Amino acid sequence: MPWCCEDETTPASDEMLEWAVQGSEFACTFLWTWEILNVVAVTVRRHRITWQRGKEFLVQLGKLIFRIDSPPAISDFPRLQALSEQHGLTAYDMAYLDLAMCLSLPLASADGDLRKAAVAEGIELLG
């Protein structure tokens, strides 16, 4: 979301945006799509950005390359619940950790608990 709200940008988010603009693919959980739409709606509602800026941001995202992961199979629920419990993560944060683990990719997140869990699982962190 730092790409949408200029007052939240960091050197790491700027670097990731540059990678995206240059054509790098980003892997995301299926939840990410709903989170993006929700954050844009909330930031508009709170007058942090205009409706037009929200629309422009979503159009800009559409020009980047995202690999959206499928929801988990119900048979994976016990494994995922154990991962969540092991690290004290919400199911939402666990989805990002699981995706990084399954794809052997680094994780980009500012969430402290998620970053701590990633380190414990041997996942490289970005930012």
Dihedral, CA atoms, 104, 108, 111, 114, nearest 10 degrees? 0
Cβ–Cβ < 8 Å for 56, 44: no
Which of 49, 69, 89 marks a domain boundary? 69
Q: What angle do CA 114, 116, 122 make, to 5 degrees?
A: 100
Distance CA 61, CA 54 (A): 11
* Domain enclosing residue 64, as ranges: 1-69
pLDDT at site 11 = 85
Q: Which of 28, 48, 69 is the C-terminal boundary of a domain?
A: 69
pTM across the whole model: 0.85
State the 10-residue block means of pLDDT for the chain, 127 residues long: 79 85 92 94 95 95 94 97 97 96 93 96 92
Q: Which residues have a Cβ under 8 Å from the Cβ of 23 and sit 6 or more positions away?
A: 65
pLDDT of residue 59: 96
